[in-house]
Each structure stands twice: as C-alpha cells, then as structure tokens.
Structure 1
C-alpha cells in the first residue's frame, strides 16, 4: 500500500459492474467480500478493492472520513 492509496479510495470510481460510478470507498461490504472470494481484478483497481475490503472488514471505514472532508 502507498499512502496515496487512501486518497484514491475516496476519489476513484468503480469503472465496471453493478456499482459502476460509485466511489471505491462507498462500495458495500458484500460486494467487496464477493471480490475477496472470487478474486480481485489485476492492476490498480484490484489493489484498491483489496485495500478497501481490508478496511471495511476490520471496521475501519471511519478512517477515510477526514480524507472525504478534504475533497
């Protein structure tokens, strides 16, 4: 993980799928869990989805609030 990845979670939008257009930080937990079971895509989006899954799974989503406020 790079420090900038946390900012990317609140600024990058999901480029495909059921939640296309949603911020990665706003994706629902069950959707992130599905990726964790089935496999994250390659590249940056997959890395960000995996990071958001870890944050969500551990109940740490509130850590992104200050980054949201800066935007």
Structure 2
C-alpha cells in the first residue's frame, strides 16, 4: 500500500500545537518525547495519527523522508 501523499505533505508542515515543544515541527520533536507518547497513548484525532506516524518514521530511520517532502512541497 502506497502512503497517502497529502498526509505526508501535511505531516511535514505540521507543528506541535501545545506544550513544551509548541511550534516545533512534529518530525523535529525529540525521540524521547515521541516514545513517551507511544507509551502513554497518542492523542485522539489527526494529531494523534500524525504523532504515531512520526513514531513509526523515527523507529525506521525515515525522518529525512519527511524533511525532503517539506522542502520539495513548500507550504502554500
């Protein structure tokens, strides 16, 4: 199954909306913070889906994929 292109583009441009890391791009959140959410439970809704995706991307060493998408598809 091919990843949803628009989801990845949106993920690349989404910033954390609250907390200690407010306004930091989700892909740039520290790994320990993402793992904490993984253990605690991701929030409901779109943000939770994105944080879970960031967890999977970081787990598999694919953060640069999202950074490349962010450069290739600037936010409009």
TM-score normalised over the length of structure 2: 0.83
Structure of higher CA gyration radius:
2
Q: Alpha-carbon deviation of 1:2? A: 3.0
Q: Alpha-carbon deviation of 1:26? A: 1.0
Map 1:1-71; keep pairs closer than 5 Å. Answer: 2-70=4-72, 71=74
Note the residue ranges of structure 1 that are not aligned, 5 or more in a row. Answer: none
Structure 1 ranges of 4+ moved more than 4 A: none
Residues in 1 aligned to 2:11 and 2:26: alpha-carbon distance in whole angstroms = 5
Note the residue ranges of structure 2 that are not aligned, 5 or more in a row. Answer: none
Count matched residues: 71
TM-score normalised over the length of structure 1: 0.88
RMSD of Structure 2 on Structure 1 (CA): 1.3
